[in-house]
Structure 1
Amino acid sequence: MYKLDLPVDSRALQAVERRRAAESARHKRIFSTRERVLGVDARALERQVAERQQREEAEKQRDRAHDMLRVSIDRMALEQQREEEHRRRELAQELLSYRALHQRAEDSRDADINYKRQRAPEDNLSTAQSCGPASMQLFQGEGVGEDERKRAEMELNERTLRAQREERERQENKQKHQELLRGKELLQQDLRAIQLDALEEECRRAVCIALKSYNQAQADERQERERQEKLRREGEEMAEVWHMVTSDLLTECPEAAEREGEGSAVTRRVLPDRWKGMSPEQLSAIYRQREEQRAERENQRQLERQKEVAWSLQQLKQARKQVEEEGRMRELEKERRVQLDKYNQQLAQEQRIHQQYLNNQLYTNQPSARYFTQFGTSSR
C-alpha cells in the first residue's frame, strides 16, 4: 500500500472545537455554585443600572457644558473677527488718507516722466567741444536740462512743504477749535452743575425748614395730648378715691355682698369683692351637711368591704376547683404517657425486625464508591 498525505478538513475541526467550547462553557455555567445557589445578583444589576444612568446623565451634562462653551467661543471668535476687520478697515482708510495727502503721484521726482512733461533735450555743443575724448564727463543724452529739472524739483518741494504746512496749520486750527468747543462745553457743564447744586441746596434747606415745622407741630400736639391724658388720669383717680370712700367696702354693709338675680325666682348671689364672711346659720348648715356626707361615705366603705369578702370566698372556691382539675389532668396525662411508651416500644421492635430483613435478605449487593462518582460529571 502507498502512504498518502490526505488534506485535513478544517471545517470539521472548527465545528468540533466550537462544540467543545460550547460544552465547556455550559459545564462551567451549570456546575457553578454561585449561579446555581444564588442565581442572578439583583442588587448588583440595580447598582450597575443606577451607575449607568448616572454616567449617562454626567455625559449629557458634560455635552451641554461643551456645547455652551463652543457657542461662547464661536461668539468670541466672531466678535474678535469683526473687531479685526474693523481695525483693518481703519488702517486701510488711514493709509489711503496718508497716501492721498503726503504721497501724491504729481509730487514725486519722476512726475515729469510719468505725466509726459519732459522737455526736449538741448545740445550743449560748447561743452562737448571744450572737452577732449579722454575727459568727457557729459555724454549725449545725459545732463540735458539739469538746471531746469533741479529748479522744478525745488519748486515742487516748496509746493509740497507749503501744502504740508498748510495742512498742519489746518489740523492745528481744527484741533484748537475742537478744544475751544470742548472747553466751552465743560464750562457749560460746570455752570449747570453749580446751578443744580444751588437748587439742590435750596431744596434741602426748604425740606429742613418744613421738617422742623412738622416736628415742632408734632411736639406741640404731643404735649397737648400728654396734658389732656394727665388731666383725665387725675380725674379718674379722684373719682376712684371718692368711690372707695363712699362705697359699701369701707362702710361694712353686709347686705352689699348679696344681690337679687334675674328672672322670676329670686336668688341670692354672693359678690366676692364685698363679702364679709358667713353667718352662724350658714356655718351650722355646712357642718350638718359634712356629717351627712361622712356617714354616707362610711356606709359605702362597709358595702365595699362586704363585696371584697364575698369576692375572696369566690376566688378561693375557684382556686380549689382549679387545683382538683389540674390533679385529674396530671393523672390522665400519666396514663396517656404510659400507653404511648408501650406503643413506641412496639413500633421500635417492628422497625428493628424490618431493618434486619433489609440488611440480611433484601440489600445484599452494596454499591462501591465508583458507582457514585459516575453521576454529575457531564452537563448533559
Structure 2
Amino acid sequence: MEDSVAMAMERRRAAEAARKERIFNTRNRVIGLDLSKLETQVTEKRERERVEREQDKAFESLSAMHDALLQQQFEEEESRRAELSRELIQFRATHQRAEDSRDADLNFKQLDLNPPVSEKDLGPSSMQVFQGGDGMDREQKKAQMEENERFLKAQTQEKEKMRFHKNQTELLWGRAKVQQDLRELQLSAVEDKCKKEAQVALSMYNQAQASERAQQQKMDKMKEEGENFMEVWHMMTSDLLTECPEAAERRGEGSGPRVLLDRWKGMSAEQLNTIRKQREEQLTAKERQREAERQRKAAWDSVLMAQSREGEEEEKRESERERQRRTELDRYNMQLAREQEAHQQYLDKNLYTNRPAASYFTQFGSSSR
C-alpha cells in the first residue's frame, strides 16, 4: 500500500516536472512548435536521403558494369593480339623459312668433303651409305637451285615486261598530254578571237548608242528652246504684263466675282476705303470691349479685396479664440497636476505604508497550477 502511494506521488511529481518544462519553456510559449510541419520535414529528409542512397547504388552498379565491360574488351583485345602474333609466327615458320629464300644456296651452302661413293665400291663392312640417308641430297639441292634460277629468270622477265608496259603507258600518256595541250591552245586562240570580235561589236554598239543619244539631246535642246520662246512670247502678249484690270476678275455661274491670283494687280481705291472703314469699326469695337473688360476686372478685384479683408479679420478672431482656449487648457492641466501630485502624496505617505519584500514577488510563477 505504501509502495503504491509512493509510486503515485512519484508519477505526480514527474508529471508536474514535465508540465513545468512545457509551460515555462520560453521558446515553446513565445514561438510555438509545429509538430506536423517538423514531422513532414523529417519525412521529406528521410525520403530524400533514401533516394540519394538508391541513386548512389545505381551509379555504383553502372560504374561496375562499365568497368567489367572495359575489362572484357581489354581481355578480348589482348587475346586477339596474342592470336594474331601466334598466326604470324606460324605463317613465318611455314611460308617464310630462311632455307626457302632465293639466296639460300649462298647462306646454307655446305662443303662436300666426302665425294659420292657408289654402293658397288663399298663392302659389307663399310657401312657408309644407308637406306633413307642423304645420299641423294646433292641432286635435290641441285634441282632446287635450278628451280630457283628458273623462278628468278621468270621474275626478271616479268619485271622487264612490266617496265616495258610502264614505258608504253608513260609514252601514251605523254602523247595524250601533248594533244590536250594543243587542244587547249586551240581553244584559247578561238576564245581570244571570240573576245576580240565581241569587243569590236560592243564598241560599235556603244558608238551607235552615243550617236543616238547625242541626236536625242540635240532634239530635246531644240524642243526646250522652242518651248521657252513660246512661253516668253505668251508672257509678253498676255494680260499679266499688259496690266489689264478686267483680266483678274471672272464671273462664275451663279456666284460673285472671282479673283484670279496670277493676274491680280492690286485693289482699287473703293476697296481700300471699304477695308479702312471696316478696320476703324473693328478698332472701336475692340476698344469698347477692352473698357468693359477693365471695368469687370476692377469690380472683381474690389470683391476679392473685400473677401481678403474679411478672411484676415476672421483669422485674427480665430487665433484669439485659439489663444484663449490654450490658456484655459493650460490652467486646467495645472489644476489636474496639482490634484494628481496631492493624490500621489496621499498614496505614498498614508495608504501604501507597508512595502512588500523581494520574497513576495518571487513566490509567483513557481508552480504550474
Q: TM-score range by the shorter chain?
A: 0.5 to 0.7
- Measured after TM superposition, the shift of residue 264 of structure 1 is 0.3
- Measured after TM superposition, the shift of residue 242 of structure 1 is 0.9
Contact 2:252 2:258 in 1 (8 A): no
- Measured after TM superposition, the shift of residue 154 of structure 1 is 5.0
Partner of 2:191: 200
Alignment equivalent of 1:303, drawn from 288, 292, 298: 292
Q: Which amino acid aligns with 1:168?
A: K
Is 1:326 the counterpart of 2:315 in the alignment? yes
CA–CA separation in structure 1 for the residues paired with 2:171 and 2:27? 101
CA–CA separation in structure 2 for the residues paired with 1:180 and 1:28? 109
- Measured after TM superposition, the shift of residue 295 of structure 1 is 1.7
Alignment equivalent of 1:214, drawn from 202, 205, 214: 205
How has the CA–CA distance of structure 1 residues 144 and 342 changed in structure 2, closer, same or farther, with 3 Å as cutoff? same
How has the CA–CA distance of structure 1 residues 367 and 288 changed in structure 2, closer, same or farther, with 3 Å as cutoff? farther
Backbone CA RMSD of aligned residues: 4.5
Partner of 2:231: 240
Is 1:123 the counterpart of 2:114 in the alignment? no
Partner of 2:331: 342
Query: What secondary structure, in the 3-state scheme, does the structure 2 residue paired with 1:123 have?
Result: coil
How has the CA–CA distance of structure 1 residues 182 and 355 changed in structure 2, closer, same or farther, with 3 Å as cutoff? farther
Query: What secondary structure, in the 3-state scheme, does the structure 2 residue paired with 1:274 have?
Result: coil
Is 1:171 the counterpart of 2:171 in the alignment? no
How has the CA–CA distance of structure 1 residues 365 and 242 changed in structure 2, closer, same or farther, with 3 Å as cutoff? same
Q: Which amino acid aligns with 2:232?
A: V
**For structure 1, which segment, 140-149 or 325-334, has the greater mean C-alpha deviation from structure 2 after superposition?**
140-149
Cα deviation 1:279-315 (Å, max 9, x = unaligned): 2222222222222222222212221221122122212
Give the TM-score normalised by the residue count of structure 1.
0.56
Partner of 1:223: 214
Q: Which amino acid aligns with 2:301?
A: S
- Measured after TM superposition, the shift of residue 363 of structure 1 is 8.8
Partner of 1:266: 256
Q: Which amino acid aligns with 1:302?
A: E
Contact 2:251 2:257 in 1 (8 A): yes
CA–CA separation in structure 2 for the residues paired with 1:318 and 1:168? 137
How has the CA–CA distance of structure 1 residues 174 and 364 changed in structure 2, closer, same or farther, with 3 Å as cutoff? farther
CA–CA separation in structure 2 for the residues paired with 1:359 and 1:217? 134
Contact 2:245 2:265 in 1 (8 A): yes
CA–CA separation in structure 2 for the residues paired with 1:147 and 1:342? 160
Query: What secondary structure, in the 3-state scheme, does the structure 2 residue paired with 1:278 have?
Result: coil
Query: What secondary structure, in the 3-state scheme, does the structure 1 residue paired with 2:252 have?
Result: coil
How has the CA–CA distance of structure 1 residues 179 and 334 changed in structure 2, closer, same or farther, with 3 Å as cutoff? same
Contact 1:260 1:269 in 2 (8 A): yes
Partner of 1:249: 240
CA–CA separation in structure 2 for the residues paired with 1:187 and 1:331? 131
CA–CA separation in structure 2 for the residues paired with 1:309 and 1:294? 22
CA–CA separation in structure 2 for the residues paired with 1:264 and 1:363? 121
Give the TM-score normalised by the residue count of structure 2.
0.57
CA–CA separation in structure 1 for the residues paired with 2:27 and 2:156? 103
CA–CA separation in structure 2 for the residues paired with 1:178 and 1:29? 106
Q: Which amino acid aligns with 1:172?
A: R
What's the % identity of the aligned pairs? 42
Aligned residues: 266
How has the CA–CA distance of structure 1 residues 311 and 319 changed in structure 2, closer, same or farther, with 3 Å as cutoff? same
Residue correspondence of structure 1 range 17-36 to structure 2 within 5 A = none
Partner of 1:49: none
How has the CA–CA distance of structure 1 residues 320 and 146 changed in structure 2, closer, same or farther, with 3 Å as cutoff? closer
